Chains A and B, each alone.
Chain A
Amino acid sequence: MAAFDSLSARELAAAISAGDLSAREVAEASLEAISARESEVQAFLQVTPELALEAADRVDAARAAGDVLPPLAGVPVAVKDNMNLQGTRTTCASRMLESYESPYTATCVQRMLDAGCVPVGKTNMDEFAFGSSTDTSAFHPTNNPWDVMRVPGGSSGGSAAAVAAGEVPISLGSDTGGSIRQPAALCGVVGMKPTYGAVSRYGVVAFGSSLDQVGPFGRTVEDVALAMDALVSGGHDRCDSTSQEVEPVFARALSGSVKGCRVGIIPSFMEADGLTSEVRRGVESAARALEEAGAELVDVDLPHLDAAISAYYVIGPAEAFSNLARFDGIRYGYQEPDCRNLAEQSARSRAHGFGAEAKRRQMLGAYLLSSGIYDKYYYAAQKARTLITADYAAAYERVDVIIMPASPMVAFEHGAISDPTQMYLSDMYTISINIAGNGGITVPVGLGESSGLPVAAQLVAPAFKDERLITFGAAVERAFSGADFSAPVLGVAPACAGKGGELA
């Protein structure tokens, strides 16, 4: 009938529900696509055929029994390896947790399963989500399906690459400073970080507890909307006291109109050092497309945005130091053998279990929280956070959404950025959204004219107005599909398309 990777999550679910495809053959196609493409892409740390086929068979049995199938029944999903899923290891791409078996399932993963999704594996990431390239994974790098010499972005690089490579139609990532939106941009897929609190964090190994948020990747805005509906269905999670009740209105928001709405542009963002001209032109053309669809473009000024990266690199490492303190090799995780005492065992287990970037962030956090230093930095960072949040709130009094780049550049080559502070700048457009706690979505707008690699725009909206991201994202997608690019905007990376996973 078609190549597995040519169908969206919605189309797969519809075909399974109609009986045109069985969940088992879809799961097998996904597994075949993975085995055919993984040598090039290396998006996965663990592939779970048994879990996948079991789940698929349950869907087929339910259909045979005449049950009403859940909305994403039979749709293969990949999950970032910082999310617990019983029956898999949760390694966070770290030696520290190399053999750690998930003792329970994260709420976000469970909700995807409840929506009928079939788990095909755990995806690669920067170690403990510290990074923007996925190169800090302790096990192997992941390659950008558009050019295997290049990174997929990070930290959710595996989840973005798996979708871009056509291995799965949707996946889950987590975003602390841009870890969904930046790799989505570099891989030419849609990636959404909802408002902090919209999706439960229970079961997702914490990096920065006040910044972390789970969200979906897909090749279409529609698939991302369906995944969002699945993630928020079930309401407030009693296991996460910071989670909020959010209505599953995302699929409905696809058909919303942008006519008469106001779209903000931050001039200083569009002129920033480091922003490549092809990315700028891509974002500008997306803005014009929204204008043509009836929206009004308005310049907005966020005077304190300059402080966002500094604030982030105080709050993020401070929380990371605290959250990663539990990895001491005593109860679980890597334990250094032959130590003389407790202190030596903890110290050496941590020294060997963590990679360089994980150590750097924890050392930084330990320093920032220490006596005498804390007052100077943490307090200042919290003030900056308050001001940035207020800046966004003021801007949203004038506009409905703001459009900006998601990444200042297209995918870079492995090893091209060796200075950590340069690497940190690749999140310059995404970080302030985590600082403010709002939501953002990355939508591809085509290939850069000089690089030939995916270019994306980012839309951001006020807190708990995430459905606007879907409405405006869909409007951008509509404007670009069928024009210079095939619909959906980019689809599967050409080198991978159609490789393995034929559906009868």
Chain B
Amino acid sequence: MKELTEVLRDWEAVIGLEIHTELTTLDTKMFCGCKLSHDDEPNTNVCPVCLGLPGALPVPNKRAIEYIVKAGIATNCEIQKHSMFYRKHYFYPDMAKNFQTTQGPVAFAMHGHLDLEVTGRGAAERPECAFGEAEAASLASASAGAVGLSADLSRMAGEGAWDETNPSPSVPAAASEGALAALSGYDTAAFALPERHEDGSYTVPIRILRIHMEEDAAKMVHVGGEEGRIGGAAESLIDYNRCGTPLIELVTEPDLRTPEEARLFMEKLRRIFMTLGISDCSMEKGSMRCDGNVSLRRRGDTRLGTKTELKNLNSFKALHDGLAYEICRQAEVLEEGGIIYQETRHWEPSRKRTVVMRVKETADDYRFFPDPDLAPFDLTDEFIEHCRAEIPELPDAKRDRYEHDFGIKRADAEQIAGDPAVAELFEEAASGLAGKEAQTVANLVVNELPAHLKATGAAVEDCGIAPEQLRSLAKLLASDAISSNQGHEVFVAMAETGEDPEQIVDARGMRQVNDTDALQATVDEVLARCSDQAQQYRDGNQKVIGFLVGQCMKASRGTGNPKLFNELLRKALS
């Protein structure tokens, strides 16, 4: 198969995501009072409602509605005051009632967007031809309506007149002239077409069709099947603890064009949801899950190709690699004159390939209709404003503030701002600092902290590192009192012992020597000893300076300032 970047020069990948997020930070399930838990014994957090026993009735969880409204506001969606729950029927034991309670044509949150900043190497996945006017046509011809997002949703859209505010009609398939104005239902004034900056980065708006509320299904374990799947399984076990967990589903418009954009969208959304505190957002545990829809078309084509749906994209890497594989696979099939079938495919990370799960020959008939047990919602302005007021500073705003107030690198600011606990630690440690000292705090938080967390398995909140320790260590590093290698050693020691870095440095005699007179003696001694290397440097081999600095460090038993050694050596040899 061809490489992704090569494929994407000839083919445009049209990607949309469906992202399910369990609202794990709530206390109880969506329609009953059962406890939410990932870890309890199977079938212990159940009741007549979530088991679908005869006569049981659902009662909506008000806080779950608050959460989805917050998610909508934070992703620039319009909050729909009037919406209702529908029943989606399918016969499968993971849904105790044999229908799922979900939302109809009108979701609590509709028509939002997130701006993606695509930087670094991944930005190169989008080829030069995918910028400017060509992109306007591409966007306009790839709305959910044109893609045929879901037969059921469009069916429901036709009926919106009778009891719900009329959902905005889908975009006409033949959107004219690539004008962004054709993207009905969206606040187009907020959108700008992506443009490539000098460093290769670009920013692109990704539209969000809707975020709706639904209940999660029970967990099924197929014993004896490969990777827990049903094929070849000897028996199937059901754990209804998860059944009825409040779940929000976000559906993007098919505005994503590269696997990197899909990955970044997912990361950005996760940072927002983490900051809102509505979920633990664990892709590993499945509390945040992503399905990808992807189709290819020749560059310049406005007609959409047949899409496949990818499952098992349960890490950022899987999301990127699964989509990248699938794009390359589809290109190969199409270039050999083959046909893409509309099917669901499973990403196998171990074999780095996608395999067919099921072929959709006909659309499933879920027999959607309004749930008669749940009255339509009529959200008040007060309720929505209450939710808005509770939204904390979001990652983008926090990143900009860190960049501006502390003067730290944008990429670091973005990473720190994305995790509320890390951000809190950083802000306390860097409080009142700026410039080099603040950046040093950021370096520690971005580089040393994750390594420490990974090694200890601790969460940020209880990793044992106090903001004062970070601050003190950053000051030692910024003032060149210790070297960066020593900084690492001190970090590990302070995390272990809880001691103050100053004490550690003093106790271990690590304080860096910055006295040039003392250092000059070492330089002279090393140059005398290593006359060959000194000659090589004089003959033009600049690289050898590294060796000489190393010798100086060794001679000073690690206490000399390597930068000063470097300077002194160069002076002596010039």
Contacts and interface: CB of A to CB of B under 8 A. Distances in A.
A403 B93 CA distance: 48
B57 interface: yes
Contacts of B363: 371
Interface stretch (A49-57, A257-265, A268-276, A320-328): A320-328
Interface stretch (A23-31, A36-44, A200-208, A296-304): A200-208
B509 interface: no
Given A241-B59, A322-B369, A382-B163, A103 B96 contact: no
A375 B55 contact: no
Given A205-B55, A346-B91, A379 B162 contact: yes
Interface in B135-181: 151-152, 155, 158-159, 162-163
Interface string B351-392: 000000000000101011101111100000000000000000
Interface stretch (B46-54, B102-110, B532-540): B46-54
A325 B55 contact: no
Given A210-B372, A366-B367, A328 B55 contact: no
A374 B369 contact: yes
Interface secondary structure of A, over-half rule: loop
B213 to A, nearest CB: 15
Contact of B369 (A106, A318, A328, A343): A318
Given A201-B57, A375-B155, A325 B97 contact: yes
Interface residues of B, number: 36
A325 B99 contact: yes
Contact of B98 (A328, A371, A374): A328
B87 interface: yes
B155 A326 contact: no
Contact of B59 (A84, A103, A238, A370): A238
B276 to A, nearest CB: 26
A285 B181 CA distance: 70
A90 B56 CA distance: 13
A331 B98 CA distance: 12
Contacts of B56: 202-203
B98 A326 contact: yes
Contacts of B365: 370-371
Interface hub of B52, B58, B368, B374 (most chain A Cβ within 10 A) = B52
A331 B365 CA distance: 24
Contacts of A242: 57, 373-375
A106 B48 CA distance: 11
Given A328-B91, A331-B96, A342-B93, A379 B159 contact: yes
Given A104-B48, A319-B372, A371-B155, A332 B162 contact: no
B373 A241 contact: yes
Interface string B52-83: 11111111100000000000000000000000
A209 interface: yes
Contacts of A90: 54-55
B89 interface: yes
A330 interface: yes
A93 to B, nearest CB: 13
B373 A370 contact: no
B486 to A, nearest CB: 62
Contacts of A330: 93
Nearest to B93: A330
Interface in A350-380: 366, 369-371, 374-375, 378-379
Nearest to A369: B367
Interface hub of B56, B151, B155 (most chain A Cβ within 10 A) = B56
Given A328-B98, A370-B365, A371-B365, A203 B55 contact: yes
A210 B374 CA distance: 10
Contact of B87 (A97, A210, A322, A378): A322
Nearest to B151: A371
Given A325-B89, A379-B162, A206 B55 contact: yes
A371 B374 CA distance: 23
A370 B367 contact: yes
Given A240-B59, A322-B89, 9 more contacts: A206-B373, A208-B372, A240-B57, A241-B60, A325-B97, A371-B155, A371-B365, A374-B369, A386-B162
25 contacts: A84-B54, A103-B53, A104-B48, A106-B55, A202-B56, A203-B56, A206-B57, A208-B372, A239-B57, A239-B59, A241-B58, A241-B375, A321-B367, A322-B89, A322-B369, A325-B91, A326-B54, A326-B97, A331-B51, A369-B89, A370-B365, A371-B363, A374-B368, A379-B159, A383-B162
Please name the 8 residue pairs, one residue from A and one from B, whose CB atoms are nearest each other, closest first: A210-B372, A325-B98, A369-B367, A209-B372, A205-B54, A203-B55, A326-B97, A241-B59
Interface of A: 82-84, 90, 92, 97, 100, 103-104, 106, 201-206, 208-210, 238-242, 318-319, 321-322, 325-328, 330-332, 342-343, 346, 366, 369-371, 374-375, 378-379, 382-383, 386
